Structure 1
Amino acid sequence: MTSAEAKGPKLPPPYRPESPEPAAKPKTEAAVRRPRMIVRNRRTIVLTFRADRWAASKASDRTAEALRAWGYPDLNEGDLKAAVHRLVTAAVADGGKRVSVHLGDQDQKVLVAVLSHVTGPSDERVLSDVMALDTIDSAGTDTGADGRRLWIVLDAAPRRRRGHTTA
């Protein structure tokens, strides 16, 4: 064996002592941005519409069709359509190019989330209008980097409210 073979293959050192360690990258807005909305282990559907004056009517009709297909016999379609129409109208007013309606369900409750995909002004009147409907359990709005989100939780098997009587 020659002396070159005894030393083994020629490899560079694991690091160069004369070069400084790489500096940590500064955190950007993308690195600290909150996660997007995630719905897991639920039946879901996403409906996307061009943000125009017909979007609210299309969205309310297609949402009702989708929930009918999921089999909710006691669903108040009037409340559903009115709520979706109001939320989508508010999302279109934000001025984006598209609006998406996200549906999910669990335990006879239906989540309807409307995304405008642009940051828009917060209009609290939308929530008060929607909460006035009988079958809406909760409603909310928030704004993130991916745009404004408006959401409601609808009771698909509504119970009688106090003060309501049937003939």
Structure 2
Amino acid sequence: MASRTNTDGDHKPDYPPKTPPPPKRPISPPRPDREAPPGAPLMATARRGVALKDRRAANWVHENAPWSPAKAGRQVVAQLRAWGHRPDEPAVDAVLAQLVGGVLQDGGRRISVHLSDQDGQACVLVLSHQPNLAVGHAPDGDDVLAELSAHGIVSSCGTDLGEDGRRLWAVIDL
């Protein structure tokens, strides 16, 4: 290594000084254990709420009554017509009867019907608002889904269960 001596007698290297090392990362806390200890209650993950963004939407609240499916069907058909669609009225009424009839079995005091449209399709979602349904005690939605899929206008359908009740939904081709 070549060095030179200046007038004070100090030795200085011929190359530039070293740059300082990058700062160390701050100490992060330990990651939480993924497994719960034995005997600890299971923690449920939060279910994401329904979000209808950047599209037209409408919703209605109905009581748990035998006439609610027919009333919901009329409201959905009227709203789709107001948006400029020409829905197959008997088929939409039949789909709404299945959806609303499915959540009426949950025994809540009220239900809500949510509607949105996009690209020639409409999404109809019905919520039971019965928060005390346990996963093992909820009415089975598979029979409702099988009957929904028999209608020619339903392109997809589904169900799920959360702390605010059971949701049944269907996407209808218009």
| Deviation sequence 1:31-61 (CA, Å, 0-9, x none) | x422211111110000110111111111111
Alpha-carbon distance, 1:90 to partner: 1.1
1:139 aligns with 2:152: no
Larger gyration radius, structure 1 or structure 2: 2
User: Deviating runs (4+, > 3 A) in structure 1?
Assistant: none
Match of 2:173 in 1: 155
Residue from 39, 43, 47 that aligns with 2:56: 43
Match of 1:66 in 2: 79
| Deviation sequence 1:7-33 (CA, Å, 0-9, x none) | xxxxxxxxxxxxxxxxxxxxx969x42
Alpha-carbon distance, 1:78 to partner: 1.4
1:34 aligns with 2:47: yes
Q: The residue matched to 2:71 in structure 1 has which SS?
A: helix
For residues 1-167 of structure 1, the aligned pairs below 5 Å read 32-73=45-86, 75-118=87-130, 119=133, 120-156=138-174
**Shift in CA distance, 44/29, structure 1 to aligned 2, threshold 3 Å:** farther
| Deviation sequence 1:81-115 (CA, Å, 0-9, x none) | 10001110111110000011000111011000000
CA distance, structure 1, for counterparts of residue 54 and residue 141 of structure 2 = 31
CA distance, structure 2, for counterparts of residue 41 and residue 29 of structure 1 = 33
What is the letter of the counterpart of residue 143 of structure 2?
Answer: R
CA distance, structure 1, for counterparts of residue 160 and residue 43 of structure 2 = 18
TM-score (norm 2): 0.69
Q: Which runs of 5+ in 2 are unaligned?
A: 1-41
| Deviation sequence 1:57-88 (CA, Å, 0-9, x none) | 11111111111111112x21111110001110
Structural RMSD (CA): 1.6
Q: The residue matched to 2:125 in structure 1 has which SS?
A: strand
More helix by share: 1
How much identity, in percent, do the aligned residues show? 39
| Deviation sequence 1:108-153 (CA, Å, 0-9, x none) | 1100000001133223110111111111100100011111000000
> Which of the pair has the greater relative contact order for Cα pairs under 8 Å at 6+ separation?
1
What is the letter of the counterpart of residue 149 of structure 2?
Answer: M
TM-score (norm 1): 0.72
**Shift in CA distance, 53/108, structure 1 to aligned 2, threshold 3 Å:** same
Deviates more, 1:143-152 or 1:32-41: 32-41
CA distance, structure 1, for counterparts of residue 104 and residue 98 of structure 2 = 10
Given that residues 110 and 153 in structure 1 are in contact (C-alpha distance below 8 angstroms), is that contact kept between their aligned partners in structure 2? yes
Q: Which runs of 5+ in 1 are unaligned?
A: 1-27, 157-167
CA distance, structure 2, for counterparts of residue 69 and residue 148 of structure 1 = 29
